[in-house]
A = this chain, B = another copy of it.
């Protein structure tokens, strides 16, 4: 390993340590405000925003909610989610491939979320980099669409191994996409045995009640 590689790795390690410290501070703040914080992660186009939009509409009237959404560019998602009436804060990262704990701390200052809120963070669409950045969340939810194939947990193990819950999305397209459900579930259980699995379709509504029930229970645990 040459000097520059060593120096790069040392800096990266430093960045992650600093992020961990900020994540711990976020966690303390979230606990003192009784916030239930969920980090939503997936590759681009897995259906995070569509699922979130429907979740805000269906669950918003029952639970106080807020959203922080991360994208490299555009505030399309914030505008779309904001139409549900739920407070939304957009973080535009430019070329940064993930959200970090400091971005979340600043966003919370600006959002001024009321105590007891369910705060959902929609991360940048990326199955690699966001896995390394703790945001101080209580729960990590990873989405994987049936249209992406069965092998994603094996090929991107870190993000799946750190998931509390895995949502298999777009299940209404299972047949059209030729998705091999038994093989996918086997891969999930091998790579991420710790993760609960819920199969959903934001379009057909399949599985949504179970997802809402889980969010509801997480909020009850925080309250």
Q: Which positions in A face B, CB cutoff 8 Å?
A: 4, 7-8, 11, 14-15, 18, 43-45, 71-74, 76, 95, 97, 124-129, 132, 145, 147-149, 151-152, 154-158, 170, 173, 176-178, 203
Contacts of A8 in B (CB 8 A): 11, 15
CB distance B97 to A128 under 8 Å? yes
Known: A8-B11, A155-B74, A158-B72. A45 touches B126 (CB 8 A): no
Give CA–CA (A95, B156) in the complex, Å. 9
CB distance B155 to A44 under 8 Å? yes
CB distance A129 to B97 under 8 Å? yes
Contacts of A152 in B (CB 8 A): 44-45
Which of B15, B44, B145, B158 is close to A127, meaning CB atoms less than 8 Å apart?
B44
Q: 28 A-B Cβ contacts within 8 A?
A: A4-B14, A4-B15, A4-B18, A7-B11, A8-B15, A11-B11, A43-B44, A43-B45, A44-B127, A44-B156, A45-B145, A71-B155, A72-B128, A73-B156, A74-B155, A76-B154, A95-B158, A97-B126, A97-B129, A124-B128, A125-B156, A126-B128, A126-B129, A147-B177, A173-B173, A173-B176, A173-B177, A178-B203
Give CA–CA (A149, B47) in the complex, Å. 9
Contacts of A154 in B (CB 8 A): 73-74, 76
Contacts of A126 in B (CB 8 A): 97, 126-129
Give CA–CA (A95, B74) in the complex, Å. 28
Give CA–CA (A170, B148) in the complex, Å. 11
Contacts of A124 in B (CB 8 A): 128
Known: A127-B44, A147-B147, A170-B147. A95 touches B18 (CB 8 A): no
Contacts of A18 in B (CB 8 A): 4
Quick one: closest B residue to A156, CB to CB?
A: B72
A154 to chain B, nearest CB (A): 5
Known: A14-B4, A44-B43, A127-B44. A95 touches B132 (CB 8 A): yes
Known: A126-B128, A127-B126, A145-B45. A72 touches B4 (CB 8 A): no
Contacts of A156 in B (CB 8 A): 44, 72-73, 125
